[in-house]
Amino acid sequence: MSGFREEDPRINSIRTKIRVVPNFPKQGIDFLDITTLLLDPKVFKNTIDMFVERYKNKNISVVAGIEARGFIFGPPIALAIGAKFVPLRKPRKLPGEVISEEYTLEYGSDCLEMHVGAVQHSDRALVVDDLVATGGTLCAAMNLLERAGAEVVECACVIELPALKGRERLNGKPLYILVEYHS
Amino acid sequence: MTSGNVEDRIQKISSVIRVIPDFPKPGIMFQDITTLLLDTKAFKDCIDLFVERYKDKNISVVAGVEARGFIFGPPIALAIGAKFVPLRKPGKLPGEVIREEYSLEYGKDIMEMHVGAVNAGERAIIVDDLVATGGTLRAALNLLEHVGVEVVECACLIELPELKGRDRLGDKPLFVLVSASQS
């Protein structure tokens, strides 16, 4: 049996609404800009619907969104499937007690934080961001959730840059994406 | 099935907002909405209250202020069929932007919006989690008005009335769900 799978008809308009901005944030990088997708209410709704259809019957109790563009896609998904939304933030933004996870960047490192008490052992979680590149941020997010005892069911992004092999950094956790970008 | 009357829903929303003393610095009572995001019914009620208010007002733009405005703005936009426009800290939006400088308690900050995100004559609401001095909302208002958008209202979950943010908005109406004292 061939691996051919018909693409959902909504994918093409999602793909075409994403804007490629060359040389941002620096020379040689093609930036995948989802803000143009947000300007089309029907396509933005289709994007959310595709995630909701996938997750609504999977007993997901937590949607964790990565600051800042994960805050745009995560909450509508959480609301539609009846899950809590948990923001994962840059250091010192969340008030009160947090746990932190450091992760490496191309140059240097960064840190992601989650509130203590946001998730419990019984929680089944999704991690949501607009894009997966090297997978470093998603990996840090998964670590935070697992350290707090939650089960990460899947990572979900609108866009993947497969050349940067982010999938391999997810310790075998599944990754679901809508659009691939090949430069 | 009703979702409860307005007063009951607002009472519940108010009760799940967490107050963190002395954050980000001594003397400040920080209004933390992340606990509301963990209560699926309260989060949904919060969005519904805004949607009920704006759905028949021909709003074509919901502008959300980074970063917590990204949590509440998109669900409202999706429900009323409007575009979502992120208003961001400097250097985050790729491509051409317009910027507005505004003052903080100490120093200044800059807010940016994409050129072409909105068109003259569109009707907009601005969404953020909280209004304090009104400086951020004022900057957002200026950005949108500079390009000919009609800002119909500013919408926040929480107001700190002692900081007189309303005064900074001039004749622009401000709608809030909860009023919180700083003492």
Q: What is the pLDDT of residues A65-97, one digit of tens each?
A: 999 999 999 999 999 999 999 999 999 999 999
Q: Has residue A117 been placed in a domain?
A: yes
* Predicted pLDDT of residue B1: 44
Pairs across A and B, CB distance < 8 A: 103
Tokens 């840090």, residue?
A140
pLDDT (tens digit, 9 = 90+) per residue, A14-30?
Answer: 999 999 999 999 999 99
Angle made by CA atoms A76, A81, A85, in degrees to the nearest 5: 55
Domain assignment of residue B1, yes or no? no
pLDDT score of A1 more than 50:
no
Query: How close B37 comes to chain A (CA, Å)?
Result: 5
Q: Does residue A51 lie in a domain region?
A: yes
CA nearest to B30 within chain A? A95
Between strands A98-104 and B150-159, the pairing is: unpaired
Domain of A36? 9-180
3-state secondary structure of B118: coil
User: Three-state SS for B141?
Assistant: helix
Inter-chain contact B94–A40, Cβ cutoff 8 Å?
no
Q: Are B55 and B33 in contact (CB under 8 A)?
A: no
Tokens for A149? Answer: 């005892």
Q: How many domains does chain B have?
A: 1
Contact present, B143 and B174 (Cβ < 8 Å)? no
Residue B22: what residue type?
A: D
Mean pLDDT score across all residues of chain B? 95
CB-CB neighbours of A68 under 10 Å:
21
| Residue of B30, B75, B93 lying closest to A76 (CB–CB) | B75
Q: Is A38 on the interface with B (CB under 8 A)?
A: yes
Give the structural domain span for B174.
6-179
What pLDDT, on a 0 to 100 scale, did the predictor assign at position A4? 59
Low-confidence ranges of chain B (pLDDT < 50): 1
Question: Quick check: is A4 in a domain?
Answer: no
* CATH code of the domain containing A157: 3.40.50.2020
- Confirm whether the ipTM is greater than 0.90: yes
- Contact between B32 and A76 using a beta-carbon 8 Å cutoff: no
The pLDDT assigned to A5 comes to: 66
Q: How many domains does chain A have?
A: 1
Residues in A touching B36 (Cβ below 8 Å): none
Q: Is residue A1 part of a domain?
A: no
Which amino acid would we find at residue B92?
K
Query: What's the rounded Cα separation, in Å, for the pair A180 and B149?
Result: 35
CATH number at B144 reads 3.40.50.2020
